[in-house]
Structure 1
């Protein structure tokens, strides 16, 4: 099983009302939630560990996880509110305003973490859940405990405006990255994390590989994605051609496609990631791009089911 650890929240998506005003419609979302949903729909054995509210939004999130065949046995319920992310779209690109104080997800503590099944062989972390305390420290502690036994993938999905203590965040991320097998970042994220915003991707990725990562994947939106492996090779693939509606959940779905392909090939293990060949990396990137293209082609974070991909 792949266990996805991090935020599940409600994206408040703007829609034009009949009278011309803009209203907001609640859609289940969150970076880690989106990836988990996509894995379940692709037929991968996936579970989610997060804090969910017992309010109506929390129930909406739980229902959608279960409808997408996700294992919810490690969900931690509480009466705290659900995090809300108000989405603003400009030319299809999304920015967010968050209401997250004292939320069910943010207030997850180490003592709340349930026992992790021995069936879990890979764990996925990232998103705002690694920026907001106390849950950020809770997930970091879990990652460090499970890294010796499980393949670890990270997508920090950095939102600088959301980071209250940059020095503390950078220190946490440096500790985490040293234990990761795969790190996927956007080109903007990579520049921010390395502090090398004017350098080339190769130099920036090498900095991360030197910290102990086996595979660094850099996405560049419509330009596609490039992977850099610890053995020195790099592989690039173009973005799948698509008529974009919006980019909400695109990167999250890409991550699911990548992990699904590696899982199906028996390569989503610590040793398997270290021993990847260029052909296997290319196949994983291409499948991630294919899955993400479907999400981009429709409104909101709505990942495809496996059956939909047979027609694309």
Structure 2
């Protein structure tokens, strides 16, 4: 398997199950909060570790007892927590409001965020890097790392030149009409000449990828029951990173990533458990490539 570095966050998710969907002015009933490990960095790192990769997580936690609990849990899942740093203050906590249809709304309660770019990323050997962070200006750091290995990154922040990476991922629902009208041109503004692909996810409809050579790929999501959408994007990113780290091309990586995302929404939790990852990998054997429109 591969060496993968994930740059992202670690959080305690406090999940409240609602009796109805959120709507303005409503008075809803909810369950008492149930705590579980979460955060985009942790969700992605755990899924990749379950796939057998050697995964290191670059993140920040606070100096409270919660940090010790979350780090111990990550370590039990096989994630290297050596690159995690502690900063004064509380660890990230998020309130997750989950409606009966599995859709989630996230409210950040506290945030542990480094004020400087995590230069330690350059000291970590990697076959691939995944970045899910908008807390710092990472442009210089990513430019150096992209010269050494492929980097997959979430499109945010939307600032020109701030994401010099080979593959960008964004959710259709998070992007404005101008970006969606020409994803490749807009992504070039963020990534520059290093860009190779931009991937746009469409929830239950699947995903599409645009290549700098004019390629356009589509992968349709399987029809699955929606139980919990928390971490679906993180699972999609884990699947894509997994495939690219193994040297698969985008025609193979995109449908695999879609199946990872679909597997997550059909299960409760913030990340894919070990059995779910193994199941989706078994199901992926022998699957066909995505359709070209």
> How many Å separate the matches in 2 of 1:148 and 1:311?
33
RMSD of aligned C-alpha atoms?
2.5
Task: Summarize the Cα distance change of 1:174–1:225 in structure 2 as closer, same or farther, 3 Å threshold.
Answer: same
Aligned partner of residue 309 in structure 1, secondary structure: helix
Query: 1:52 pairs with 44, 61, 72, which one?
Result: 61
Aligned partner of residue 94 in structure 2, secondary structure: strand
Query: 2:6 pairs with 1, 4, 7, which one?
Result: 4
Structure 1 partner of 2:171: 186
**Pairwise CA distance, 1:146:** 2.2
User: How big is each residue's C-alpha offset from its partner over 1:80-139, in whole Å with a ceiling of 9 and x where there is no partner?
Assistant: 211111112233221221123xx4x314534x753743522322212xx41x4xxx23x4
**Pairwise CA distance, 1:233:** 0.8
Aligned residues: 266
**Contiguous gaps of at least 5 residues in structure 2:** 20-28, 284-293
> How many Å separate the matches in 1 of 2:6 and 2:102?
27
Aligned partner of residue 175 in structure 2, secondary structure: helix
Q: Does 1:149 align with 2:148?
A: yes
Note if contact 2:41-2:59 (Cα within 8 Å) is conserved in structure 1: no
> How many Å separate the matches in 2 of 1:21 and 1:38?
29
Note if contact 2:38-2:271 (Cα within 8 Å) is conserved in structure 1: no
**Pairwise CA distance, 1:223:** 1.0
Query: 2:244 pairs with 262, 282, 296, which one?
Result: 262
Q: Does 1:208 align with 2:191?
A: no
Show the 5 A alignment for 1:90-239: 90=99, 91-100=101-110, 103=111, 105-110=112-117, 113-114=119-120, 116-117=122-123, 119-126=125-132, 129-130=133-134, 132=135, 136-137=136-137, 139-156=138-155, 170=158, 173-177=159-163, 179-191=164-176, 196=178, 200=181, 203-209=182-188, 211-212=192-193, 213-239=195-221
**Pairwise CA distance, 1:56:** 3.1
Q: Does 1:39 align with 2:33?
A: no
Query: 1:75 pairs with 60, 84, 108, which one?
Result: 84
**Pairwise CA distance, 1:68:** 2.1
> How many Å separate the matches in 1 of 2:219 and 2:55?
26
Note if contact 1:190-1:205 (Cα within 8 Å) is conserved in structure 2: no
> How many Å separate the matches in 2 of 1:16 and 1:189?
24
Task: Summarize the Cα distance change of 1:87–1:140 in structure 2 as closer, same or farther, 3 Å threshold.
Answer: farther
> How many Å separate the matches in 1 of 2:259 and 2:188?
26
Aligned partner of residue 47 in structure 1, secondary structure: strand
Aligned partner of residue 241 in structure 2, secondary structure: helix
Aligned partner of residue 74 in structure 1, secondary structure: coil
**Pairwise CA distance, 1:176:** 2.0
Structure 1 partner of 2:278: 307
> How many Å separate the matches in 2 of 1:218 and 1:301?
21
Task: Summarize the Cα distance change of 1:248–1:21 in structure 2 as closer, same or farther, 3 Å threshold.
Answer: closer
Structure 2 partner of 1:294: 263
User: How big is each residue's C-alpha offset from its partner over 1:128-171, in whole Å with a ceiling of 9 and x where there is no partner?
Assistant: x41x4xxx23x445324423223221114x5xxxxxxxxxx54x
TM-score, reference length from structure 1: 0.76
Task: Summarize the Cα distance change of 1:238–1:114 in structure 2 as closer, same or farther, 3 Å threshold.
Answer: same
TM-score, reference length from structure 2: 0.81
> How many Å separate the matches in 2 of 1:123 and 1:262?
10
